[in-house]
Structure formats: C-alpha cells, structure tokens
Structure 1
Amino acid sequence: MSEQGRWAGRNPAKDIIRHTIWRELETAGVNVGPAWSMIPNFSGADVAAWHLAQTDAWKSARTVKTNPDHAQTPIRIRALYEDKVVYTPVPYLTKDFPYLRLDPAKLTVAEISFELAATPQGFMTHGERLEFEEVEPLDFCVVGSVAVSRAGGRTGKGAGFADLETAIFRELGIVTATTPMATSIHSIQLVPDDAIVIESHDSPLDFVATERELITTGSIATRPMGVDWSKVRADQFETIPFLTNLRDRMLSRRASA
C-alpha cells in the first residue's frame, strides 16, 4: 500500500500522524482490512462498542448517529438491539441524498437482521433516505477517527466529512453544544495531546472507547456551532452532489432568521 493517504497534502501535520497510525496498525497486525486512507477497522471493535455502551449518555439515548465505516458496525448493531434509531451518512457523501435512517421496529417487521442492516452495504440497501433537515434531534454522536488524544482531540482520515456533517447538524439545531460526541478506536490510535492539530472547525470528543478502556475526556474546548462555508473546499462542492443546494438552503435560512 502506498504510504500516501487519499486526501494527503491538505494538512501536512495531520498527514504525519495519520501515516504513523496506519503504519503502526499494520505493523501490529490489528487492522481488519485496509488501514490506509480509511477510518480503520480493528481487532476489538466489538469490545470498544461495549465500553461505549456503558456510559449513561449512551444508555439514555434514543437516537444515535454513527459514521458509516466498518469499525463502527458493532456500535450500530448494539444500538439497534437496544431499540435506538440509528442515523448514518452515505459513505463519502457520493449520492444525491446525504443520510440514512435505520429504525429497529421497521427492520423487525421487514424481517431484516440487525447484523445485516448495520453494515455499510446493509444500511445503503435497507436504510430510509433522508435530507439533513429530516434527521431528528440526535442524542448521541459517534465519529470515525484515525488518531485521538485523551484530551478529546481527533484526526480523521482527511476528507473533512465528519466535521462538515457535525457543523451542519449544529447549525440546524439537530446537534447541540451538549450532545455527546464519541469515537471508538484501537488503543494504538491513542496519541499524546500535543500530537493532534486542532483547527477551528474541529469538534472535541467527550468519550473515547478502545478495546482496553473507556476514556471520559472532560473536554471543555469550544465547539463550532455552524458551517463556515468560506472554508468548505472547492473539491467538496465538486464531489458531494447535494452540497451546493444544501449551502443555498442554509444561507437562505440564515438570512430569514
């Protein structure tokens, strides 16, 4: 595998930590499937999901959002079995609709197994298609990560999808400043606090679940409450089919507020 991420070059400092983690995962042999340019799946992802599910915030949540990656499939399965409605974005946001909903009651009536529905292929087939504005208020949010600090700093794979989605949800009021933000990773993906580059659009994490432990970060860092459209990259408008239309709707909403 080439030691260049798919989105390399946008932030060299972040590239360095991503490449280090991807390499360390492969060296240790704990990645499940490809690691490079991915939110890596990892050995122990099911145990990390269990750790996350022990939090009071998870237990009280009725609606859960996760990233669409394989590493978080155990989280989606657990949520569905616990009768939570699961929302997940279209992988890489390449369709003309951004989001999908998995309702455990509807899946049960349709005789679709939760294990199938929770996979990336399964939710694309069996999930209900939604616009951002159709997502109901979220009680718990899970994002994918490549590198994470115990202080709640996070680096993703470099595409900028998670931060953009979170900013959109916050501006729409679907996610608030107090909505718990979490991730699940292998312990190899934990890095020193000063190894994470924090930018203005980055959202801090409240919980980090690994195969070894649950970390409550206690982060009080500022959370961006809306989209700075001037900082959305030109290639994102080119590759995300619905983004221009969504921007126009949201700017119109701001103007009329």
Structure 2
Amino acid sequence: MKSKQEVREYVWNAIKPYSTFPPPYGRIPNFVGADKACEKLRELEEYRKAKVVFSAPDSPLKRAREIVLEDGKKLLVVKPKMTGFLLVENGKAGTIKEMLRYGREVDLNELKIHVDIFLQGCVAVDRKGNRIGKGSGFGDREYRILREKGLIDDETLYVVVAHPIQIFDDLSHLMDEHDVKVDVILTPKEIIRTENYFKRFR
C-alpha cells in the first residue's frame, strides 16, 4: 500500500463484518471482541503495577476505561477533539457522557502524576510498533502534550487495542518522523509485544 489513507480504506472495508456501533468508516473502528482485547490489560505486569492510565475516548477502549476504575487506578482521559483533560478517580468513564460526568477537569501544568500506561485505539498497527490513526493526528498530539508536560516518560508503556485485521507486518515505509511507536498490541486472543517494545525495554 502506498499511503496511510490507502491502509485506512482497506481496514475500514475489511473490518465491516466484525464491526459494531458506530460504523467504522472515518473512525477508530469498534469491533466484536474489543472487550476481550481490553481484558488483556490485566495480564500485563506493567498494568498490574500501574497507578495511572491514560485513555483516548475511542469506542473500542470503553471496557479498558471501566477496568482501570474497577481496579482502583486513576484514569486520565482527553475530552473529544482535545478540548481538555479529565482525571477520573471514582465513578464510571466507559462512555464520553460518563467521563464528563465523573471526571474532574485538570490543568496538566499543575498535575503531579506519572502516566504508566498510554492507551489508544488504532485504524492499523504493525508488529514493529507503527500505528496509523483515523487521520486527525489526535493520538500523536495527545502523547506529545503529555510528554512535554512531564506526565509521560521513557518508562510509560504505549498500548493499543486492535482486531487482527488491523495488524500488519510492516508499515514503516508510510511513517513520518513525528509518528509515535507502540509497545504492545492487545487483541481478543493475543498480547503482541512489538519490535519497538524490545528496543525500549529489553
């Protein structure tokens, strides 16, 4: 494939039989089995040790946000279209409505926490750790902002949730210098540690 958009179009079409609400096109696809993929979080030693998890508001991450709060951890979330950040310590945050209801708006300059797990959805990802989003650039911008504010560092684990159809062997030729690499891919049946993980942590 010759462009990120070509990969997106391929995935949005291929994942249709496995997709759930909302429809996948133009979005981070939600899929049958996303809940099971999110449950894989609990199998990660890094997650079990984590105190703070950041999650994008993507639909396939709904169960992951619930799990974080069920496990008594702090959840940092970004509001839709990056209009602010919320810290959720109690209540629910599976849906955007719940995030807005139970989350407390925070100023990142004043927030004294360390994000242990950075959690995103994807349109496509490869085994080297290259991730393609829906094209808005929000995922990389969220990562960079948290990094610039000192909430993310070299110890933060970058995790994505994906359906097997979204996973490729190598998308390196499509990547830009600013693209942030993924460490771990969670699918309904697998935990995949990418090449980037082994470069960073081993």
TM-score, length-scaled by structure 2: 0.91
Task: Name the structure 2 match of 1:126.
Answer: 102
Q: CA RMSD in A?
A: 2.0
- Does the 8 A contact of 1:149 with 1:196 survive in 2? no
Task: Name the structure 2 match of 1:243.
Answer: none
Shift of 1:201: 1.3
Q: Which has the higher helix share?
A: 1
For this pair of structures, how many residues does the alignment match?
A: 198
Q: 2:44 aligns with which of 55, 58, 76?
A: 55
- Does the 8 A contact of 2:183 with 2:197 survive in 1? no
The yes-or-no answer on 1:148 pairing with 2:122 is no
Secondary structure (helix, strand or coil) at the match of 1:124 reads helix
Shift of 1:172: 1.8
Deviations 1:125-165 (A, max 9, x none): 22111223244221111012100111111000110111111
User: Partner letter of residue 66 of structure 2?
Assistant: I
Q: 1:126 to 1:103 in 2, by over 3 A?
A: same
Shift of 1:217: 1.0
The yes-or-no answer on 1:177 pairing with 2:154 is yes
Deviations 1:191-230 (A, max 9, x none): 221366221111111110011211011416999xxxxxxx
Aligned pairs (5 A) from 1:80-229: 80-93=69-82, 95=83, 98-104=84-90, 107=91, 114=92, 117-135=93-111, 136-194=113-171, 197-219=174-196
User: Partner letter of residue 8 of structure 2?
Assistant: R
- Does the 8 A contact of 2:58 with 2:120 survive in 1? no
TM-score, length-scaled by structure 1: 0.72
- Does the 8 A contact of 2:19 with 2:29 survive in 1? no
Task: Name the structure 1 match of 2:12.
Answer: 22
- Does the 8 A contact of 2:34 with 2:60 survive in 1? yes
Secondary structure (helix, strand or coil) at the match of 2:141 reads helix
Q: Which has the higher strand share?
A: 2
Deviations 1:64-98 (A, max 9, x none): 001011110100111111001001101112x3xx1
Q: 1:82 to 1:68 in 2, by over 3 A?
A: same
Deviations 1:157-186 (A, max 9, x none): 110111111111112211012210000011
Task: Name the structure 2 match of 1:73.
Answer: 62
